[in-house]
Amino acid sequence: MNGPHDLGGAHGFGPVIAEENEPVFHAEWEKRAFALVMAMGYTGAWHIDTSRHARERTPPAEYLASSYYEIWFAGLKRLLVEHGLVSEAEIAAGKSSSPPARLTAVPAEGLMEKLMADGSYERPATAPARFKTGDAVRARVMNPAGHTRLPRYVRGRTGTIAAIRGCHVFPDAHCGSDEEDPRWLYSVAFGSDELWGPQGRAGDDIRLDLWEPYLEPA
Amino acid sequence: MSDHDHSHLSDMDVRVRALETLLSEKGYVDPAALDVFIDTYETKVGPRNGARVVARVWADADYRKWLLEDAGAAIASFGFTGRQSEHMVAVENTPDIHNMVVCTLCSCYPWAVLGLPPVWYKAPPYRARAVADPRGVLADFGVSLPQTTAIRVWDSTAEVRYLVVPMRPAGTDGWSEERLASLVTRNSMIGTGLALSPEAAA
Domains in chain A, please, with CATH? 28-116 (1.10.472.20), 136-217 (2.30.30.50)
Q: Are the Cβ atoms of B34 and A32 closer than 8 angstroms?
A: yes
Does ipTM exceed 0.90? yes
pLDDT > 90? residue B2: no
Asked if residue B86 and residue B70 are part of one domain, the reply reads yes
DSSP B186-202: HHHHHTSS-PPPHHHH-
Q: Are the Cβ atoms of B36 and A40 closer than 8 angstroms?
A: no
Asked if residue B132 and residue B67 are part of one domain, the reply reads yes
Q: B75 lies in a domain?
A: yes
Asked if residue B73 and residue B18 are part of one domain, the reply reads no
Number of domains in chain B: 2
pLDDT > 80? residue A56: yes
Strands B160-165 and A158-168, bridge-based pairing: unpaired
pLDDT digits (tens, 9 = 90+) for B143-193: 999 999 999 999 999 999 999 999 999 999 999 999 999 999 999 999 999
| Residue A101, SS3 per DSSP | coil
Query: Mutate which of A11, A13, A29, A112 to test chain B, going by most B C-beta atoms within 10 A?
Result: A29
- Kindly state the average pLDDT of the residues A9-32: 96
Asked if residue B66 and residue B29 are part of one domain, the reply reads no
Q: Is B77 labeled as catalytic in the residue annotation?
A: no
pLDDT > 80? residue B91: yes
Out of B7, B24, B85, B107, the active site residue is: B107
Asked if residue B50 and residue B39 are part of one domain, the reply reads no
* A190 Cβ neighbours under 8 A, 6+ residues apart: A154, A157, A158, A159, A205, A206, A207, A208
- Kindly state the average pLDDT of the residues A92-103: 95
Q: B1 lies in a domain?
A: no
pLDDT > 70? residue B1: no
Nearest CA in chain B to A104: B28
Q: What is the pLDDT of residue A123?
A: 97
Q: Which range of residues forms the domain containing residue B35?
A: 6-43
Q: What is the pLDDT of residue B201?
A: 85
pLDDT > 80? residue B5: no
Asked if residue B146 and residue B81 are part of one domain, the reply reads yes
Quickly state the pLDDT bin for B29 (edges 50, 70, 90).
Answer: very high
pLDDT > 90? residue B90: yes
pLDDT > 80? residue B107: yes
pLDDT digits (tens, 9 = 90+) for A147-187: 999 999 999 999 999 999 999 999 999 999 999 999 999 99
The shortest C-alpha distance from A138 to chain B (Å) reads 16
Q: What is the pLDDT of residue B9?
A: 53
Q: Check: pTM over 0.90? Answer yes or no.
A: yes
Asked if residue B104 and residue B16 are part of one domain, the reply reads no
Q: B156 lies in a domain?
A: yes
pLDDT > 90? residue B134: yes
Q: Contact, B161 vs B80, CB < 8 A?
A: no
- Residue of higher predicted confidence among A50 and B201: A50
Which of A83-97, A106-120, A190-204, B178-192 shows the lowest per-residue confidence on average (mean pLDDT)? A106-120
Asked if residue B120 and residue B29 are part of one domain, the reply reads no
Quickly state the pLDDT bin for B202 (edges 50, 70, 90).
Answer: confident
Q: B27 lies in a domain?
A: yes
Asked if residue B15 and residue B90 are part of one domain, the reply reads no
Q: Which of A22, A56, A207 has its CB closest to that of B119? A: A22
Q: Which amino acid is at B104?
A: T
Q: Which of A7, A35, A117 has its CB closest to that of B127? A: A7
Q: Is B144 labeled as catalytic in the residue annotation?
A: no
Average pLDDT over chain B reads 95
Q: What is the pLDDT of residue B4?
A: 52
Q: Which of A5, A16, A40 has its CB closest to that of B29? A: A40
Out of B7, B77, B103, B176, the active site residue is: B103
Q: B134 lies in a domain?
A: yes
In angstroms, the CA B37 to CA A86 distance is 22
Asked if residue B133 and residue B161 are part of one domain, the reply reads yes
Q: Which of B23, B44, B125 has its CB closest to that of A15? A: B125
Sheet holding A158-168, edge to edge: A215-217, A136-139, A158-168, A183-191, A205-211, B150-155, B97-102
- Kindly state the average pLDDT of the residues A195-207: 98
Q: What is the pLDDT of residue A118?
A: 80
Q: Which amino acid is at A36?
A: L
Asked if residue B14 and residue B113 are part of one domain, the reply reads no
Residues in B closer than 8 angstroms to A28, CB to CB, are 13
Asked if residue B67 and residue B28 are part of one domain, the reply reads no
CATH of the domain at B140: 3.90.330.10
Nearest CA in chain B to A39: B29
Percent of chain B with pLDDT over 90: 92
